Amino acid sequence: MQALQAAIFDLDGLLVDSEPIWHRAELAVFGSLGLPLTLDDVLSTKGRYVGEVVEHWYRRFPWSGPTIAEVVSAIVEAVEALLRTDAELKPGARQAVDFLRGEGLALAVASSSPQRLIEAALRRHHLRHAFAVVRSADAEAAGKPDPAVFLSTARLLGVDPRRCLVLEDSATGVAAALAAGMVCVAVPEQPPADLAGLGPVDAVLHSLHQVDRSLWDVLGRAPARLGASPVPATGQTLGGDVDGSAGAAARPGSSPAPPAGQ
């Protein structure tokens, strides 16, 4: 039996080219409030909950008028509208999904985006059927880099976290995967700049086109991280029950402050 039994994909910036959409939405909404943010500013909060992002910028540049919750809602709605028309798959995304399915791995998505945005992006590209579990970090006590969303996803799949392969594009996501004790492959969007914050990943790829036989020969038949122990997620024990979205019966998370993409 091969060591790896499941593959967990991030969404934004990994499967779907939605990072620019989040950046556009944040710049537009924050700009309407008079905040002098640049693209570099919004990139600095990549991978964090949108609620945390809004709170961060409110502390830096307090505004009057809309509440934090209202600004969060405005950003999410702007992203959702753009996803319907502008979100394209990243190069090699469909190939990677098909290849890993063909190797017999159970597939999942674990993202910091709100559940409804994950579902919308996957259905737009007719990929929802490929994933047994679709999990949003908005159902967790903490978002990435906390490992909660990956540990919950593994539990919903019924797979030991140490037998899961994670594909991630951000340093935040890589940190979460490694904290979960999972094998991790990084596909940074803008190498080499994105490599600076990455931890000790098992492989770094230029694109998902490289998820192929040669990668599988290295990862799929290598021992899993059976000597590593996952770090318990915030608010969880490793043996606790979780809610989630599995197969066609996906159930949206219900966090009052949905997480940002990435």
Catalytic residues: 10, 12
* DSSP summary character for residue 177: H
What's the CA angle centered on 61, arms 58 and 63, to 5 degrees? Answer: 70
Spell out the residues 6+ positions from residue 127 whose beta carbon is closer than 8 angstroms to its own. 15, 94, 97
- Determine which helix (DSSP H) or strand (DSSP E) holds 136, and give its type and residue range: strand 133-136
Report how far apart, in Å, the C-alpha atoms of 104 and of each of 7, 57, 153, 181, 197 are.
10, 44, 17, 21, 32
Q: What is the dihedral of CA 17, 257, 148, 238, to 10 degrees?
A: -150
* DSSP summary character for residue 209: G
Q: What is the dihedral of CA 261, 237, 4, 121, to 10 degrees?
A: -20
- 50-60 and 68-86 helices cross at what angle (nearest 10)? 130
